[in-house]
Amino acid sequence: MVIKSLKSIYNRDLSTLRTEIEAYNDESAIWKVDGGITNSAGNLCQHLIGNLKHFIGAELGQSGYVRQRDLEFSTKGASREELIKGIEETRAVVDATLDKLTPADLEADYPKSVFADMQTMTTGYFLIHLATHLGYHLGQINYHRRFSTSCRNKLFSYSNYIA
């Protein structure tokens, strides 16, 4: 039951991530930053792809994926098509890995220490954490897209919105 629910949530949110990236009218706006917005939607998308491919795919699914976290934030300009391909690859990896898990796997300790203040945690706990992390950044991407669209895809100018 829990595995089926997690799979549904990941599929829903990865589908929404794809929809958000597709919804940008101007592909270059995916990469824009300004002022207090330091991460573009493109970099957040790359971060989510790397995060899930690493913590679910590599750690639980033994996919062999090697994460380069710094590049998730420093690499700019991937095409919309490349981002969508990464999202779909991630969805396939997450689905395949979750399909192999058992309820006992969810109760077992996650195989890697991730948080400095928490030596161990169950796999189920961490999968829930990863889902909320995905949702958090998905909200940032949605805001970024709506804000950049409201600015008519110009580089953001907050002074236009100060009352």
Q: Using one digit for the tens of pLDDT, what is the confidence trace for 43-83? A: 999 999 999 999 999 999 999 999 999 999 999 999 999 99
Note whether 33 and 40 are within 8 A (CB). Answer: yes
DSSP labels, 74-100: H-----HHHHHHHHHHHHHHHHHHHHH
Note whether 69 and 140 are within 8 A (CB). Answer: no
pLDDT band for 149, please (50, 70, 90 cuts).
Answer: confident
What is the pTM assigned to this prediction?
Answer: 0.90
Which domains can be identified in the chain, with CATH numbers? 2-161 (1.20.120.450)
